[in-house]
Amino acid sequence: MMPVYDYLCKRCDHRFSELVRSDEDQPTCPACGRREHERLLSRLAPAPRPSANFTPAQTRRDGGHEHRH
């Protein structure tokens, strides 16, 4: 799995995300073309864990209710 990192360009203050294949990869700012950037901390959202009474309908935006017309 290859992580996607957020960066802030030190030259033009452009914030961008980049798929990084290894620690040696140095992405280029898409706005100014420079490689002078700072890697930002990214927040991760934990995936919900299914409980014993979990049903797929609970993941629907409408709360699992079917609307019939």
CATH of the domain at 17: 2.20.28
52 to 3, 48, 62, 65: CA distances (angstroms): 32, 13, 21, 20
pLDDT tens across the length of the chain (69 residues):
667 889 999 999 999 998 877 777 789 999 999 999 999 976 654 555 666 665 555 455 555 555 554
32 to 9, 13, 39, 55: CA distances (angstroms): 9, 10, 16, 48
Strands of the chain, DSSP E: 4-9, 15-19, 37-40
User: Does some domain include residue 17?
Assistant: yes
Residue 22 domain boundaries: 1-41
pLDDT at residue number 69: 47
User: Does some domain include residue 23?
Assistant: yes
What is the number of domains present in the chain?
1
